[in-house]
Amino acid sequence: MVDHLLGIEGLSKTEIHRYLDAAHSFVEVSERDIKKVPTLRGKTIIHVFFEPSTRTLSSFDIAGKRLSADTINISASSSSVKKGETLLDTVRTLESMNPDVLVIRHSESGAAHFAARNLTRSSVVNAGDGAHEHPTQALLDLLTLRQHFASSKRPIEGLRIGFVGDVRHSRVARSNIWAHIALGNEVRLIGPPTLVPMDFARAFNSPLVNVVHDLREGLRDLDVVVCLRMQLERQSEHFVPNLDEYSKEFCVSERLLREFAPSSVVLHPGPMNRGTEISGEVADGPRSLIHRQVNNGVAVRMAVLYLLARTLDPREEGSER
Amino acid sequence: MVDHLLGIEGLSKTEIHRYLDAAHSFVEVSERDIKKVPTLRGKTIIHVFFEPSTRTLSSFDIAGKRLSADTINISASSSSVKKGETLLDTVRTLESMNPDVLVIRHSESGAAHFAARNLTRSSVVNAGDGAHEHPTQALLDLLTLRQHFASSKRPIEGLRIGFVGDVRHSRVARSNIWAHIALGNEVRLIGPPTLVPMDFARAFNSPLVNVVHDLREGLRDLDVVVCLRMQLERQSEHFVPNLDEYSKEFCVSERLLREFAPSSVVLHPGPMNRGTEISGEVADGPRSLIHRQVNNGVAVRMAVLYLLARTLDPREEGSER
Amino acid sequence: MVDHLLGIEGLSKTEIHRYLDAAHSFVEVSERDIKKVPTLRGKTIIHVFFEPSTRTLSSFDIAGKRLSADTINISASSSSVKKGETLLDTVRTLESMNPDVLVIRHSESGAAHFAARNLTRSSVVNAGDGAHEHPTQALLDLLTLRQHFASSKRPIEGLRIGFVGDVRHSRVARSNIWAHIALGNEVRLIGPPTLVPMDFARAFNSPLVNVVHDLREGLRDLDVVVCLRMQLERQSEHFVPNLDEYSKEFCVSERLLREFAPSSVVLHPGPMNRGTEISGEVADGPRSLIHRQVNNGVAVRMAVLYLLARTLDPREEGSER
């Protein structure tokens, strides 16, 4: 009976929309004077972050608190992991404190799945595992697109979306790609061959996913451009020769968007390196949905926590997976 | 319609007393068995501390919780600032999560003002910006004095107050000086020329502010002595030759107070270096109001958060600035 | 009227059972759908941890929140202690914020007692002071044993209990030993002479406490085996020659338990070093009560916080110490 959110891979279009529908109804809560509902009163949510995070952790924490849950934050730096305890012992120890949800961020791909397999009573939410998945980020990106395209009565099915930059190491891209495949959208992965290797795309085994190594060509006629964060350490790891050169070729600028994808909107998971992967003009301009993403992050996490941790009415249980 | 508390500079006597009046009414809440009022239920307060702090952060956090607000603490060490994000992006990202108040501490003067100028929906409270201002500390100092002098029916207007020590780098002194100028009080800045330069006083452009480089002369007939924290790194920065020598000349002792300012009371913003800027006898003696200051810190922060974050009755709005 | 929990030393059997009885009634709260009671609403609990901790801090934090108290966490790394403030000033400063309970962990033996002696209004709970005491850990161990032996209608008086490993540096062992002396239980301290010196046992001045330097002999006929965490730095401090050799002689394995203490149950305060002081087979096997310990940790801390911080009905006050 315990459900988890470990990744977008494997979710159906219906399941994705179920999260978005719930999130949609929570957006309004954060705009009220009294930004709080009693939904998860008496539930305990533990955030275990083995990697540092401001934005994702704050977003989950605010989401839990606005649902009236009790939230506990554990960071790796102060954790028993330092003392040599295994991940298994850590999560089992935490489960023994009867949390309803464990929200896990970890540098290893598969960490959240491993936790979920070994827990019996707590739900697990993957808040980012290595370069693997970051499902709540994909859901908030989708919610942002659904809101945007709703104004022109377009559904989020049938979009053309491009991911620009360090696709290879991006759990954000990976979760989003699975979602867009489920929605039937055309996905373009744009960047130099070191950051967008051909076999990366092949792993999704979908004709919808294509690789383009030229930014102009990649942007052409996109509805949505997702700029990915360039991590500065990539340079020393030789994935990019030099950040200046990189940004000359791959920084998403307003000039390029106007020419090649004039009606596109732009997303960025943050934190941004202005001038590296995205120009300040784009980030702050009218096609940027970036602050809307952050805003939706709280709503999406409220939805996920709600769907996992609420107490089901016994009569409903049959209809839940 | 969004109001901020960025500094004491520019506040009128009336505005200062408005904060103190509100704080006065909150002192009692922390003395109850049930130290909690529902005033800010459903409000979100984010503390973003780019400098470490125990006392100020705890005080704000307790204040927020006793008002029933949801509080989120973000420390620089775990923050996106590490990842190269600008202050602007950080505060805008946080604003997108719909906090009612952002409480900001930062090592740069003007950081809170910068944040306030760039936010449209969240109130900003300056919890210390570089050597510039620390307005809630000045307000809690004033509340402490108002309580003390009330017993002898003296108002806080007409006092003679001295700041002893590292005035130059002290945001506490600076915020207090602005307040005492607004109240019409005589202010003496006491310390060696390296720590109390003549042009520091001149910057306030007020005949009420004077510099004295001799402790005995400075203390004479003071009603209030504020001992400022000496930071140990000042020695390596050559502002003081040697802490031992410094304290021989400028440590505030009971013996000196008895001789030169016998009826004075003593404040210290903490944490104290006993034996450097204040003797243990003074710190723990009857003229010390230091623990009262900490106690009032919670009440003052409750007042500030209340005045900024409460939901106004529409009929009242016209009367608010 | 302010009470503290500083150690198990000096507690009577009745007092110990009073804590366990209260804890027993809180176990069930954490198993509800709504894991929250309003008991300590409006109370403030400050956790001041001068040593890092995940498990104990999370356990206290969850306990406080499930009692509806407001909890504040202060870690040494961000604390004024860094700025040279004394422990006395730190705890007095915190007391000035009107917490009902200060939960203190500190690397120095006696730190919690020192705090308690110098505070007048806040209750102090010792969450571990150096190698001295960790009373809530002993109470949760006892609760775990009481639950286990209740099924065979055995009381926790009359047990034979052994502590294996680094007894010398273990506040967990020390608190437990005082408890078992109060309960009249036979205590065996098992480990190499460097880690279990003869005069360690003598300090308890009780015929119930014995030292055994051979694991097989030590385990014989025990009802309860408590494996103590081996700290890796002990090797560089020359208390153990080599962890591999150490574990060959003192690692508690299922094979040994089956032969020498076949009906025993096993406790470990965590975090575990599997293969060093305890085999994985024992840790995960049917005689392990380790996860039950963690679970009971929350209940015991709820009980302790409740007994210290609840508002007494004036008519009851006379019956409280």
pLDDT in tens, A233-244: 777 788 888 888
Residue pLDDT, tens place only, A91-117: 999 999 999 999 999 999 999 999 999
| Confidence band of A262 (pLDDT split at 50, 70, 90) | very high
Contact A33 B83 (CB under 8 A): no
C135-290 classified as CATH 3.40.50.360: no
| Alpha carbons A54 and C177: distance in angstroms, whole number | 43
Residues 6+ away with beta carbon under 8 Å from C284? none
Place C112 in a pLDDT band, splitting at 50, 70 and 90.
very high
DSSP state of B256: H
pLDDT at B318: 44
Do the chains contact at B270 and C92, CB–CB below 8 Å? no
Residue B255 in this model has a pLDDT that exceeds 60: yes
SS3 A12: coil
Contact B271 C92 (CB under 8 A): no
Q: What is the pLDDT of residues B204-218, one digit of tens each?
A: 999 999 999 999 999
Q: Are A190 and A212 in contact (CB under 8 A)?
A: yes
- Residue that wins the pLDDT comparison between B84 and A295: A295
Among all residues of chain C, which has the CA nearest to that of A100? C33
The interface predicted TM-score (ipTM) is 0.93
Question: Which among A34, A58, A273 has the least Cβ separation from residue B42?
Answer: A34
Cβ neighbours of A237 (radius 10 Å): 10
- Which of A53, A61, A293 lies closest to B72 in CB terms? A61
Q: How far is A75 from chain C (nearest CA, A)?
A: 9
pLDDT band at C232 (very low <50, low <70, confident <90, very high): confident
Distance from CA of A97 to the nearest CA of B (A): 22
Q: What is the pLDDT of residue B236?
A: 78
Selection from C249, C226, C246 nearest residue C235 by Cα: C246
Beta strands in chain B (DSSP E): 44-49, 70-75, 101-106, 123-129, 160-164, 186-190, 209-212, 224-227, 265-267
Q: Are strands C160-164 and C70-75 parallel, antiparallel or unpaired?
A: unpaired
Q: Name B227's bridge partners.
A: B164
Residues of C with CB under 8 A from a CB of B: 41-44, 46, 70, 72, 74, 77-80, 82-86, 89-90, 92-99, 311
The pLDDT value given to residue A316? 53
Would you place residue A81 in the very low, low, confident or very high pLDDT band (cuts 50, 70, 90)?
Answer: low
The structure tokens listed for A183 are 């929605």
Whether the CB-CB separation of A6 and A116 falls below 8 Å is answered with: yes
Q: Where does residue C108 rank: exposed (0-12), middle (13-18), buried (19+ CB within 10 A)? A: middle
For residues A61-87, average pLDDT: 82
Query: How confident is the prediction for chain C on average, in pLDDT?
Result: 93
Query: What is the Cα–Cα distance from C258 to C306, expressed in whole angstroms?
Result: 40
Q: Return phi, psi of residue B245, to 5°.
A: -60, -40
Residue-level pLDDT at C312: 67
Q: Nearest to residue A6, comparing CAs of A116, A89, A96?
A: A116
The pLDDT value given to residue A236: 78
Span C136-141, mean pLDDT? 98
Report, at the CATH architecture level, how domain B135-293 is classified. 3-Layer(aba) Sandwich (3.40)
Asked whether residue B319 carries a pLDDT value surpassing 50, the answer given is no
For the domain with range A13-134+294-319, which CATH number is right: 1.10.287.130, 3.40.50.1370, 3.40.50.10800, 3.20.20.70?
Answer: 3.40.50.1370
Number of H helices, E strands in chain A: 13, 9
From B50, which residue of chain C is nearest by alpha-carbon distance? C78
CA atoms of C119 and A78, how far apart (whole Å) = 28
The average pLDDT across C46-72 equals: 95
% of residues, chain C, pLDDT over 70: 94
Supply the pTM of this predicted model. Answer: 0.95
Whole-number average pLDDT of chain A? 93
Indicate yes or no: CB of B97 within 8 angstroms of CB of A295: yes
Average pLDDT over residues C47-62: 93
For A103: left if phi > 0, alpha if psi spans -120 to 50, otherwise beta; the answer is beta
The whole-angstrom separation of Cα B134 and Cα B174 is: 8
Q: CATH 3.40.50.1370 in chain A: give the residue spans.
A: 13-134+294-319, 135-290
- Please list the residue range(s) of chain B that carry CATH number 3.40.50.1370: 13-134+294-319, 135-293
Report the range of poorest mean pLDDT among A162-166, B115-119, B238-242, C204-208: B238-242
Would you state the pLDDT for residue C241? 83
Q: Is the CB of C70 less than 8 angstroms away from the CB of B36?
A: yes
Of C43, C77, C85, the CB nearest to B271: C85
A86 chain-C contacts, CB cut-off 8 A:
274
Mean pLDDT of C59-88: 83
Predicted confidence band at A83 (pLDDT cuts at 50, 70, 90)? low
Residue type at B263? S
Average pLDDT over residues A73-89: 71
pLDDT at C6 over 90: yes
More confident residue, B251 or A1: B251
Strand partners of residue A75: A49
Instruction: Name residue, tokens 């949390």.
Output: A99
Least confident span in A144-148, A316-320, B288-292: A316-320
From chain B, the residues in CB contact with A65 under 8 A are: 44, 70, 72
- Which residue type occupies B129? D
Q: Closest CB to B84: pick one of A57, A232, A291.
A: A232
A37 Cα to chain B: minimum distance (Å): 8
Backbone angles phi, psi at C105, to 5 degrees: -120, 135
Kindly indicate the confidence band of residue A154, based on its pLDDT and cuts at 50, 70 and 90.
Answer: very high
**Structure-token pair, residue A293:** 């993403």
* The pLDDT of residue C159 is above 90: yes
Q: Are A264 and A224 in contact (CB under 8 A)?
A: yes
B58 contacts on C by Cβ (under 8 Å):
46, 72, 74, 94, 97
Residues of A with CB under 8 A from a CB of B: 30-36, 52-55, 57-59, 61-62, 65-66, 75, 77, 232, 270-274, 291-295, 297-298
Among B68, B83, B123, B308, the residue to mutate for chain A (most A Cβ within 10 A): B83
Band of pLDDT at residue C267, cut at 50, 70 and 90? very high
Q: What is the mean pLDDT of residues A180-204?
A: 96
User: How far apart (Å, rounded) are the C-alpha atoms in residues C122 and C103?
Assistant: 10
pLDDT of residue C14 exceeding 70, the answer is: yes
State mean pLDDT over A188-193.
97
Residues listed for chain C: 321
Grade residue C315 by pLDDT with cuts at 50, 70 and 90.
low
Give the pLDDT of residue A247.
Answer: 94
Distance from the Cα of A133 to chain B's closest Cα (Å) equals 20
- Which chains touch C (3+ CB pairs under 8 A)? A, B
CB contact under 8 A, A291 and B42: no
Residue B185's nearest CA partner among B226, B214, B151 is B226
How far is the alpha carbon of C7 from chain B, nearest alpha carbon, in Å? 26
Distance between CA atoms of residues B21 and B8, nearest Å: 16
The answer to whether A49 touches A78, Cβ cutoff 8 Å, is no
Q: pLDDT digit string (tens) for C195-219?
A: 999 999 999 999 999 999 999 999 9
Whether the predicted pLDDT of C191 surpasses 80: yes
Which chain A residues are within 8 Å of C75, Cβ to Cβ?
A: 78
Mean confidence (pLDDT) of chain B: 93
Token reading at B142: 């004033």
Query: Residue B107 in 3-state DSSP?
Result: coil
Which residues on chain B place their C-beta less than 8 Å from a C-beta of chain C? Answer: 30-36, 52-55, 57-59, 61-62, 65-66, 75, 77, 232, 270-274, 291-295, 297-298
- Can you tell me the mean pLDDT for C133-148? 98
**Residue ranges of chain B whose CB lies within 8 Å of a chain A CB:** 41-44, 46, 70, 72, 74, 78-80, 82-86, 89-90, 92-99, 311
Interface test with C, best of A1, A67, A98, A119 (most C CBs within 10 A): A98
Question: Exposure pattern of A106-140 as b/e (b: 16+ CB <10 Å)?
Answer: beeebbbbbbbeebeebbbbbbbbbbbbbbbbbbb
CA B154 to CA B151: how far, in whole Å?
8
Given a cut of 50, is residue C318 above it in pLDDT? no
Higher pLDDT, C137 or B79: C137
Residue contacts between B and C (CB atoms, under 8 Å): 82
Tell me the residues of C at the A interface, defined by beta carbons under 8 Å apart.
30-36, 52-55, 57-59, 61-62, 65-66, 75, 77, 232, 270-274, 291-295, 297-298
- CB nearest B80 (choices: A32, A35, A271): A271
Query: Which chains does A contact via 3+ CB–CB distances below 8 A?
Result: B, C
What is the torsion angle, in degrees rounded to the nearest 10, for the CA atoms of residue A148, residue A150, residue A154 and residue A160? 20
Inform me whether the pLDDT recorded for A320 exceeds 70.
Answer: no
More confident residue, B321 or B225: B225
What does the pLDDT average to over C181-189? 98
> Over 60: is that where the pLDDT of C314 sits?
no
SS3 B105: strand
- For residue C105, the distance in angstroms to the closest alpha carbon of chain B comes to 16
Q: Is A143 exposed, middle or buried (0-12, 13-18, 19+ CB in 10 A)?
A: buried
Q: Is C315 exposed, middle or buried (0-12, 13-18, 19+ CB in 10 A)?
A: exposed
pLDDT of A80 above 60: no
pLDDT of the residue at B83: 58
Q: Taking CB atoms and an 8 Å limit, are A72 and C66 in contact across chains?
A: no
Report the distance separating Cα A200 and Cα A187, nearest Å. 13
DSSP letter for each residue of A225-294:
EEEPPPPTHHHHTTSSS-HHHHHHHH-B-HHHHHHH-TT-EEE--S---BTTTB-HHHHHSTTB-HHHHH
Give the per-residue pLDDT at C240.
86
The pLDDT of residue B164 is above 70: yes
Distances (CA, A) of B163 to A99, A311, B12, C154, C277: 51, 59, 21, 68, 58
Domain with CATH 3.40.50.1370 in chain C: 13-134+294-312, 135-290
pLDDT tens, B217-242?
999 999 999 999 998 777 778 888 88
Q: Which residues of A touch C (CB under 8 A)?
A: 41-44, 46, 70, 72, 74, 78-80, 82-86, 89-90, 92-99, 311
pLDDT at A319: 44
Q: CATH topology for C13-134+294-312? A: Rossmann fold (3.40.50)
Closest CA to B58 of B68, B71, B40: B71
Q: Look at residue B54 and tell me whether its pLDDT is greater than 90.
A: no
Q: Worst-scoring range by mean pLDDT, A162-166, A242-246, B313-317, C106-110?
A: B313-317
**Residue percentage of chain C with pLDDT more than 90:** 85
